[in-house]
């Protein structure tokens, strides 16, 4: 009985020391079983490496600190990598060439004492480091990203390089104006096209139709210019073969002069001559004497010298 008790105690003691050894040194994880073996560790005193032969999902539930580096490189069969409680890495963080990785979760990560490199993960389209505040090395995020979220980032000491496939750099550019990036900064959201096959086909058809339309317009303009040039040549030929035109001079019309219109002068009142005529009454009628008219003689002159003998009287009337 006593021997059995001592055996159980020795096994438990060995297990404790084994767990202590796994937390106090570097660890390599090839599957989820290896990750579960670190379930009692909140701190890894060395580095943590995801083996290139790892497959499926790797979830590290309780680890809050890695005093070395965290590396996952070439594990093309890993689909999910998560460390939900991880807050700090005293070395660098490298996640590269995980071709099947679709989910990377490190939402509690706040500080990385060296570089962060996430690159070459073709199926990873969304990247979120919601609590990341400080990167003491370089920050390199390149891949097929449609969105990258760094809402808490305050400082990056080294070069920052961000390149996605169809993402916007507007929010990340605002961090530059806040002096978050202490080193250089570059961001590109159009590393390659993200259009579907149908969209690409539609663009191709539109380009072809546009080119055809331009060609038709150019042909019509050329035809119009050629027709205009031909018409101009015909007009020049007709003008050259036509007889010269003599300009017909019209007679000069005299300038119209208005005929002055004279108004007849008003007759002036004449002063009565002699005594007023006799007045007749109704009692007696008398005939007034008609005075004899004096006889006047008229003479005609000939063309010769004027002598008194050449004068002869005309018949008086």
pLDDT, one tens digit per residue, over 255-265 is 666 666 656 55
Question: Rounded to an integer, what distance in angstroms lies between the CA atom of residue 113 and that of residue 91?
Answer: 5
Contact 103, 80 (CB under 8 A): yes
- Token pair belonging to 317: 């009337």
pLDDT band at 291 (very low <50, low <70, confident <90, very high): low
Give the residue with greater pLDDT, 112 vs 236: 112
| pLDDT greater than 70 at residue 6 | no
Terminal-to-terminal C-alpha distance of the chain: 205
- Token pair belonging to 34: 């290896």
pLDDT at 202: 86
> Tokens 């660890």 sit at which residue?
27
pLDDT at 238: 76
Q: How many CB atoms lie within 10 A of CB 91?
A: 19
Please provide the average confidence, as pLDDT, over all residues in the chain: 80
pLDDT at 235: 80
pLDDT at 192: 43
Give the residue with greater pLDDT, 234 vs 218: 218
pLDDT band at 148 (very low <50, low <70, confident <90, very high): very high
pLDDT band at 314 (very low <50, low <70, confident <90, very high): low
Closest CA to 183 of 148, 114, 136, 127: 136
Average pLDDT estimate for 192-219: 80
pLDDT at 23: 86
Question: Rounded to an integer, what distance in angstroms lies between the CA atom of residue 54 and that of residue 21?
Answer: 22
Q: H or E element: which one contains 149?
A: strand 147-149
Could you tell me the residue ranges of all domains in the chain? Answer: 49-188
Average pLDDT estimate for 297-306: 56
pLDDT at 239: 74
Q: How many CB atoms lie within 10 A of CB 260?
A: 5
Average pLDDT estimate for 105-127: 96
pLDDT at 24: 82
pLDDT band at 14 (very low <50, low <70, confident <90, very high): very low
Which pTM value belongs to this model? 0.56
Q: Considering the chain, what percentage of its residues have pLDDT values greater than 70?
A: 66
Q: H or E element: which one contains 46?
A: none
């Amino acid at each position: 009985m006593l021997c059995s008790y001592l055996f159980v105690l020795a096994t438990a003691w060995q297990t404790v020391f084994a767990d202590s050894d796994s937390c106090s040194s570097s660890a390599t994880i090839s599957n989820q079983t290896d990750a579960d073996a670190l379930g009692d560790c909140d701190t890894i005193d060395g580095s943590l490496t995801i083996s290139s032969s790892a497959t499926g999902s790797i979830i590290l539930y309780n680890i809050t600190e890695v005093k070395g580096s965290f590396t996952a490189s070439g594990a093309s069969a890993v689909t999910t990598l998560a460390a939900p409680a991880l807050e700090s890495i005293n070395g660098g963080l490298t996640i590269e060439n995980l071709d099947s990785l679709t989910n990377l979760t490190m939402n509690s990560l706040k500080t990385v004492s060296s570089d962060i490199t996430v690159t070459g993960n073709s199926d990873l389209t969304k990247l979120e480091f919601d609590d990341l505040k400080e990167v003491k090395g370089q920050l390199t995020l390149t891949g097929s990203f449609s969105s990258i979220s760094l809402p808490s980032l305050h400082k990056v000491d080294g070069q920052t390089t961000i390149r996605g496939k169809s993402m916007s750099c507007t929010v990340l550019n605002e961090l530059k104006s806040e002096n978050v990036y202490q080193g250089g900064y570059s961001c590109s959201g159009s590393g390659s096209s993200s259009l579907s096959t149908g969209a690409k086909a539609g663009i191709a058809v539109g380009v072809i139709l546009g080119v055809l339309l331009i060609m038709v317009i150019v042909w019509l303009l050329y035809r119009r210019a050629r027709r205009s040039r031909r018409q101009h040549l015909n007009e020049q030929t007709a003008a050259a073969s036509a007889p010269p035109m003599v300009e017909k001079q019209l007679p000069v019309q005299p300038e119209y002069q208005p005929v002055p219109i004279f108004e007849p002068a008003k007759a002036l009142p004449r002063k009565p001559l002699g005594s007023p005529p006799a007045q007749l009454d109704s009692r007696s009628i008398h005939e007034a004497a008609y005075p004899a008219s004096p006889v006047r003689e008229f003479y005609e002159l000939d063309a010769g010298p004027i002598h008194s003998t050449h004068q002869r009287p005309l018949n008086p009337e």
